[in-house]
């Protein structure tokens, strides 16, 4: 079998020399036979005649030998390829259009697929990832939130559905002792974390159960990227010490390159170290930045696990009402965590880009159909000299595969370029460790898309040409035959489909444009221009008490305010749109005491004087903080309008008092007086409603991590280096992180929608152009076909306007069919966009009307150009046409 194949292949690739050999062999035979006849006494002429008779057709023998060698099919393919290349080169205009159309569509598809693959399909780097479940707590007023550490311990002790459970706490460190100090993030994890997810360190040791207890020796695992960037990938880092927050941590391991955990981290450290440094986790009511991960035990379904865990959470809520009132539990497979809300975006884009490919195929099919119509005679000739239907189809398909193949290669190149642009648009967290890129799966997809499109646009024209080829006679021009009419109908249907798909894409893009423009028009409650935000965390070892921390903040503010081009500067704990927040319960003086889980739970901020002015938040009532609101002055606070409306309906909140936390007989409440009301801000993104907010003066609540906000007279990013210099002059080891302008934060907060908008916009523009070309092609072809008819009409007295109108009516009929089908389909499909829309209904009538208008205009233009061509028709020439 194998030998046979090898022989055939060898024969195929050496066909030239084998043919020459065969000729020589036959010639030898011929000559010997001739000699034989001459020796037998025949005259040379007679001998030659006999030889010819014996021999029969030499070409036939050659052909049969080829067949015997088994190279016949390959030979035919080679001929078709050669012939295909030749015809395509001859029609270079046709080939270029077809090739470019496909390249764009395949390129766009491949680029989007690479994102789909890395975000949705690529296997996670864990052992049996489908059984890894992320657990969070939930609260009806807040939604999903972090896990209380004591609750986690109870979950782990009481459940029978997980074979193992690990806890991960987010930590941030100042990494110093290097050229420029910087902030890195990490996770403190229980010692079973790596074995639970099935990951082994690249080298070094795993955590030990003894490291789960408070008092553990500071140790750290480096992620691969940090090891490469800061330790030059040196093997001897194990056992070395690295300075985090001014403390020495021993490096015990390096994690593998594809390692990823539930958030972006640079280091892992033992849970015990985190417990040592924090009193917080001991308190059941504290929900720090902590998550839990469980591996489903054998045979346990997610539903079963959920049922049991909900029961445990309910028991805990009952047992510890102060901490757990109304708190529930949420379970989700770990993949969902990574994909998050980007799934719908990606799927919408993937469907959109598939539409583009379909439109492109329809267009190319149309081109092929049109060309097949012009080749009727050629096909008829080939049928006449004995080509079978299958052979003709094969040859046509070979041509479409050539076009698709080159389109695919060019498309892949385009995809390379497009992927770089796209990964910068799409949040990196959704991607696997290596991000989107070209890999085996993506190449396979490109190949599949190429092959399928070749068949999609090649098969119908191929079959068509066999039918017409078989029916038309050589003498006939084939242009006015009924086959032509049927072909016209097929082409018209393809164009109608293209237009319908374009309508769907345009509608989606239109809805997104409207959503994003409405979103950007939302008043965020603060000024977004000329504003820079930086984050700084002071480490406890260098700033042991509030006095030291306050001194640092005060000096920083003074020096930054003194910089040229700085209009104002201030400090605040939680700048809007940064996803940073802190919340706690409050008790308002005189209010009826609610259940433990129903106390007002506002966002709280600690801000320096000038914060509101720098951020541009409007003061609605009362006064702003001043330097007089010092540590020793009476405790004061500002509240936002929403809190004022919610907690003091119909009253003036200024002068009212509250205290932090819930009533506790063991503690004397510290009363805080409300001195003013400020406007609401969109803390959590422009699309999300504002929450209750309280502001405290920095002097009366001094945190060691703050955002510095600076309003500048120049482009805010230009201030970064001078602020770094100022900070270094105060403390050489103090890192600055999360530097961004407020405009960037706004852009990020609309990120998903913006990506969808841009890509849908690009795709629908592409679709519109292709559909325009499609309708243009059909109309101009039909004009060319009807030249004679038009000539007759004009000779009989029809005006030029009448002729143009006739052509335009034909176009309008096609366009309106596409439009109607498209609008009906879009009406049903746009609801899948709903999640991404903002204050626009998926069936927004003005958008639909606009799309219809745009498409009608494009169609009109595409028909008008060929229609005008009829003006140049000279009746006499037209009548003599052909």
Partner 1 sequence: MLPVEANRETMSRIDLPQGTLDLLILCTLSLEPQHGWGISERVQQMSSEVLCIQQGSLYPALHRLERRGLIRARWGASENNRRARYYELTKAGRKQLETETGLWKQLTVAVNQVLGEA
Q: Which stretch binds partner 1 (CB under 8 A): 21-29, 518-526, 619-627, 678-686?
A: 21-29
Please name the residues in contact with 694: beta carbons below 8 A apart, sequence gap of 6 or more.
586, 602, 603, 604, 605, 637, 638, 639, 640, 643
Should residue 34 be labelled a site residue for partner 1 when binding is judged by CB under 8 A?
no
> What is the SS3 assignment for 162?
strand
The residue within the footprint of partner 1, chosen from 33, 217, 262, 722 (CB under 8 A), is 33
Question: Is 15 or 620 the residue whose CB approaches partner 1 more closely?
Answer: 15
The residue within the footprint of partner 1, chosen from 22, 447, 717, 821 (CB under 8 A), is 22
Q: How far is the CB of 78 from partner 1 (least distance, A)?
A: 18
Could you tell me what percentage of the chain is helix, strand and coil, using 3-state DSSP and rounding each to the nearest 5? 55, 15, 30
End-to-end CA gap in the chain: 56
Residue 419 near residue 111 (C-beta atoms within 8 A): yes
Should residue 386 be labelled a site residue for partner 1 when binding is judged by CB under 8 A?
no
Question: Is 34 or 97 the residue whose CB approaches partner 1 more closely?
Answer: 34
Q: How far is the CB of 59 from partner 1 (least distance, A)?
A: 11
Q: How far is the CB of 771 from partner 1 (least distance, A)?
A: 53
Residue 678 near residue 688 (C-beta atoms within 8 A): no
CA atoms within 13 A on the CB side of 205: 12
Q: Which stretch binds partner 1 (CB under 8 A): 25-33, 413-421, 562-570, 842-850?
A: 25-33
Q: Which stretch binds partner 1 (CB under 8 A): 20-28, 308-316, 335-343, 521-529?
A: 20-28
Q: Which stretch binds partner 1 (CB under 8 A): 61-69, 168-176, 410-418, 812-820?
A: 61-69
Helix H or strand E encompassing 219: strand 219-222
Q: How far is the CB of 16 from partner 1 (least distance, A)?
A: 16
Should residue 8 be labelled a site residue for partner 1 when binding is judged by CB under 8 A?
yes
Q: In whole angstroms, how far apart are CA 663 and each of 591, 593, 656?
A: 11, 9, 17
Question: Is 29 or 724 the residue whose CB approaches partner 1 more closely?
Answer: 29
| Footprint of partner 1 on 318-337 (CB under 8 A) | none
Should residue 23 be labelled a site residue for partner 1 when binding is judged by CB under 8 A?
no
Counts of helices then strands in the chain (DSSP H, E): 28, 22
Q: How far is the CB of 76 from partner 1 (least distance, A)?
A: 17
Question: Is 70 or 435 the residue whose CB approaches partner 1 more closely?
Answer: 70
> What is the SS3 assignment for 708?
strand
| Residue whose token pair is 């929608």 | 753
Structure token digits, residue 368: 């092929």
Should residue 31 be labelled a site residue for partner 1 when binding is judged by CB under 8 A?
yes
Q: How far is the CB of 70 from partner 1 (least distance, A)?
A: 6
The residue within the footprint of partner 1, chosen from 25, 378, 802, 834 (CB under 8 A), is 25
CA atoms within 13 A on the CB side of 760: 30
> How many residues are there in the chain?
882
Name the nearest CA neighbour of 354 among 499, 510, 509, 501. Answer: 501
Structure token digits, residue 661: 């936390």
Should residue 24 be labelled a site residue for partner 1 when binding is judged by CB under 8 A?
yes
Please name the residues in contact with 207: beta carbons below 8 A apart, sequence gap of 6 or more.
189, 190, 191, 193, 194, 219, 221, 252, 268, 270
Should residue 732 be labelled a site residue for partner 1 when binding is judged by CB under 8 A?
no
| Footprint of partner 1 on 68-127 (CB under 8 A) | 68-70
Question: Is 31 or 558 the residue whose CB approaches partner 1 more closely?
Answer: 31
Should residue 32 be labelled a site residue for partner 1 when binding is judged by CB under 8 A?
yes
Should residue 53 be labelled a site residue for partner 1 when binding is judged by CB under 8 A?
yes
Should residue 67 be labelled a site residue for partner 1 when binding is judged by CB under 8 A?
yes
Should residue 43 be labelled a site residue for partner 1 when binding is judged by CB under 8 A?
no
| Cα separation, 169 vs 213, whole angstroms | 14
Question: Is 47 or 575 the residue whose CB approaches partner 1 more closely?
Answer: 47
Structure token digits, residue 298: 């054998």
Should residue 797 be labelled a site residue for partner 1 when binding is judged by CB under 8 A?
no
Strands 219-222 and 247-254: parallel
The residue within the footprint of partner 1, chosen from 43, 60, 258, 547 (CB under 8 A), is 60
Should residue 26 be labelled a site residue for partner 1 when binding is judged by CB under 8 A?
yes
| Footprint of partner 1 on 265-294 (CB under 8 A) | none
| Residue whose token pair is 């028991």 | 315
| Cα separation, 510 vs 275, whole angstroms | 52
The residue within the footprint of partner 1, chosen from 14, 20, 52, 54 (CB under 8 A), is 54
| Cα separation, 689 vs 516, whole angstroms | 16
Should residue 56 be labelled a site residue for partner 1 when binding is judged by CB under 8 A?
yes
Q: How far is the CB of 47 from partner 1 (least distance, A)?
A: 14
Should residue 489 be labelled a site residue for partner 1 when binding is judged by CB under 8 A?
no
Helix H or strand E encompassing 578: none
| Cα separation, 228 vs 161, whole angstroms | 39
Partners of residue 586 on adjacent β-strands:
660
Should residue 7 be labelled a site residue for partner 1 when binding is judged by CB under 8 A?
yes
Q: How far is the CB of 35 from partner 1 (least distance, A)?
A: 8
Name the nearest CA neighbour of 152 among 143, 139, 162, 142. Answer: 162
Q: Which stretch binds partner 1 (CB under 8 A): 51-59, 366-374, 537-545, 758-766?
A: 51-59
| Cα separation, 193 vs 164, whole angstroms | 9
Q: How far is the CB of 13 from partner 1 (least distance, A)?
A: 15
Question: Is 64 or 130 the residue whose CB approaches partner 1 more closely?
Answer: 64
Q: In whole angstroms, how far apart are CA 728 and each of 239, 732, 857?
A: 30, 4, 61
Residue 603 near residue 693 (C-beta atoms within 8 A): yes
Question: Is 70 or 256 the residue whose CB approaches partner 1 more closely?
Answer: 70
| Cα separation, 679 vs 696, whole angstroms | 15
Residue 31, judged by CB atoms within 10 A of its CB (0-12, 13-18, 19+), counts as: exposed
Q: Which stretch binds partner 1 (CB under 8 A): 1-9, 283-291, 423-431, 742-750?
A: 1-9
Residue 781 near residue 94 (C-beta atoms within 8 A): no
Residue 97 near residue 368 (C-beta atoms within 8 A): no
Structure token digits, residue 280: 């917080």
Q: Which stretch binds partner 1 (CB under 8 A): 60-68, 226-234, 448-456, 850-858?
A: 60-68
The residue within the footprint of partner 1, chosen from 21, 233, 689, 846 (CB under 8 A), is 21
The residue within the footprint of partner 1, chosen from 19, 38, 48, 61 (CB under 8 A), is 61
Question: Number of residues in contact with partner 1, rule: CB under 8 A?
Answer: 29
Question: Is 53 or 385 the residue whose CB approaches partner 1 more closely?
Answer: 53
Question: Is 17 or 279 the residue whose CB approaches partner 1 more closely?
Answer: 17
Question: Is 51 or 837 the residue whose CB approaches partner 1 more closely?
Answer: 51
Should residue 55 be labelled a site residue for partner 1 when binding is judged by CB under 8 A?
yes
Should residue 3 be labelled a site residue for partner 1 when binding is judged by CB under 8 A?
yes
Residue 702, judged by CB atoms within 10 A of its CB (0-12, 13-18, 19+), counts as: middle
Should residue 29 be labelled a site residue for partner 1 when binding is judged by CB under 8 A?
yes
Q: Which stretch binds partner 1 (CB under 8 A): 23-31, 80-88, 118-126, 155-163?
A: 23-31
Name the nearest CA neighbour of 208 among 223, 227, 194, 226. Answer: 194
> What is the SS3 assignment for 133?
strand
Question: Is 31 or 336 the residue whose CB approaches partner 1 more closely?
Answer: 31
Q: How far is the CB of 5 from partner 1 (least distance, A)?
A: 10
Residues at the site binding partner 1, with contacts judged by CB under 8 A = 3-4, 7-8, 11, 21-22, 24-26, 28-29, 31-33, 36, 53-57, 60-61, 64-65, 67-70
């Amino acid at each position: 079998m194998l030998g046979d194949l090898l022989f055939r292949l060898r024969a195929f690739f050496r066909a030239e020399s084998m043919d020459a050999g065969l000729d020589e062999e036959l010639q030898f035979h011929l000559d010997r036979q001739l000699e034989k006849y001459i020796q037998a006494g025949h005259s040379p002429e007679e001998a030659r005649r006999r030889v010819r008779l014996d021999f029969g057709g030499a070409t036939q023998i050659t052909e049969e030998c080829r067949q015997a060698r088994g190279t016949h099919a390959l030979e035919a393919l080679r001929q078709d390829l050669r012939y295909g290349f030749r015809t395509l080169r001859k029609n270079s205009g046709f080939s270029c259009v077809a090739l470019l159309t496909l390249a764009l569509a395949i390129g766009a598809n491949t680029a989007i697929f690479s994102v789909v693959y890395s975000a949705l399909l690529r296997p996670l780097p864990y052992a049996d990832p489908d059984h890894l479940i992320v657990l969070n707590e939930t609260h009806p007023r807040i939604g999903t939130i972090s896990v209380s550490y004591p609750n986690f311990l109870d979950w782990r002790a009481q459940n029978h559905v997980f074979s193992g459970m690990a806890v991960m706490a987010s930590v941030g460190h100042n990494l110093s002792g290097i050229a420029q100090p910087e902030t890195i993030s990490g996770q403190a994890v229980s010692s079973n974390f790596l074995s639970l997810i099935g990951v082994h360190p690249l080298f070094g040791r795993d955590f030990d159960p003894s490291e789960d207890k408070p008092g553990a020796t500071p140790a750290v695992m480096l992620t691969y990227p940090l090891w490469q960037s800061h330790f030059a990938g040196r093997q001897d880092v194990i056992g070395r010490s690295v300075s985090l927050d001014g403390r020495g941590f021993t490096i015990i391991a390096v994690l593998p390159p594809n390692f990823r955990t539930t958030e972006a981290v640079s280091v892992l450290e033992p849970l015990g170290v985190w417990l040592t440094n924090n009193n917080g986790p001991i308190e059941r009511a504290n929900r720090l930045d902590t998550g839990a991960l469980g591996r489903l035990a054998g045979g346990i379904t997610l539903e079963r696990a959920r049922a049991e865990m909900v029961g445990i959470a309910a028991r805990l809520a009952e047992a510890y009402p102060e901490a757990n009132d109304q708190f529930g539990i949420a379970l989700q497979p770990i993949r969902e965590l990574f994909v998050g809300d980007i799934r719908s975006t990606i799927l919408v884009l993937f469907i959109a880009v598939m539409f583009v490919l379909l439109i492109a195929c329809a267009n190319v099919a149309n081109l092929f159909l049109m060309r097949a119509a012009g080749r009727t005679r050629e096909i008829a000739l080939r049928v006449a000299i004995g080509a079978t239907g299958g052979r003709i189809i094969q040859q046509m398909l070979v041509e479409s595969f050539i076009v698709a193949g080159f389109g695919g290669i060019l498309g892949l190149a385009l995809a390379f370029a497009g992927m770089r642009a796209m990964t910068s648009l799409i949040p990196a967290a959704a991607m696997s460790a290596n991000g989107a890129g070209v890999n085996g799966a993506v190449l396979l997809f490109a190949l599949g898309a190429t092959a399928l499109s070749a068949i999609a646009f090649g098969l119908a024209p191929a079959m068509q040409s066999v039918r017409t080829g078989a029916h038309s006679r050589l003498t006939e021009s084939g242009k006015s035959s009924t086959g032509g009419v049927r072909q016209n109908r097929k082409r018209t249907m393809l164009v109608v489909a293209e237009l319908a798909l374009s309508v769907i894409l345009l509608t989606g893009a239109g809805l997104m444009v409207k959503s994003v423009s409405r979103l950007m028009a939302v008043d965020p409650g603060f000024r977004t221009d000329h504003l820079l935000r930086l984050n700084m965390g002071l480490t406890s070892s260098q700033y042991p008490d509030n006095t030291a921390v306050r001194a640092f903040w005060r000096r920083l503010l003074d020096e930054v305010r003194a910089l040229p081009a700085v209009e104002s500067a201030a400090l605040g704990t939680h700048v809007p749109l940064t996803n940073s927040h802190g919340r706690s319960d409050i008790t308002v003086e005189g209010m009826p005491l609610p259940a433990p889980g129903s106390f007002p739970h506002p966002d709280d901020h600690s801000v320096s004087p000038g914060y509101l002015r720098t951020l541009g938040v409007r003061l609605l009532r009362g006064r702003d903080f001043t330097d007089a609101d010092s540590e020793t002055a009476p405790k004061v606070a500002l509240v936002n309008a929403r809190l004022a409306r919610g907690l003091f309906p119909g009253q003036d909140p200024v002068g009212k008092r509250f205290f932090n936390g819930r009533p506790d007989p063991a503690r004397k409440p510290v009363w805080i007086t409300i001195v003013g009301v400020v406007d609401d801000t969109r803390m959590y993104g422009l699309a999300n409603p504002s929450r209750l907010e309280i502001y405290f003066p920095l002097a009366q609540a001094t945190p060691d991590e703050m955002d510095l906000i600076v309003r500048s007279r120049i482009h805010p990013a230009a201030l970064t280096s001078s602020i770094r210099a100022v900070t270094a002059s105060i403390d050489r080891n103090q890192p600055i992180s999360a530097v961004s302008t407020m405009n960037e934060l706004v852009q990020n907060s609309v990120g998903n929608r913006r990506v969808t908008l841009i890509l849908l916009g690009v795709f629908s523009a592409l679709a519109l152009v292709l559909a325009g070309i499609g309708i243009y092609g059909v109309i101009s072809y039909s004009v060319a076909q009807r030249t004679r008819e038009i000539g007759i009409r004009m000779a009989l007295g029809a005006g030029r306007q009448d002729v143009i109108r006739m052509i335009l009516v034909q176009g309008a009929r096609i366009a309106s069919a596409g439009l109607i089908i498209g609008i009906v389909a879009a009406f049903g499909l746009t609801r899948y966009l709903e999640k991404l829309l903002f204050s626009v209904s998926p069936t927004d009538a003005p958008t639909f009307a606009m799309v219809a208008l745009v498409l009608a205009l494009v169609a009109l233009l595409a028909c008008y150009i060929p229609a005008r061509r009829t003006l140049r028709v000279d009746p006499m020439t037209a009548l003599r046409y052909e």
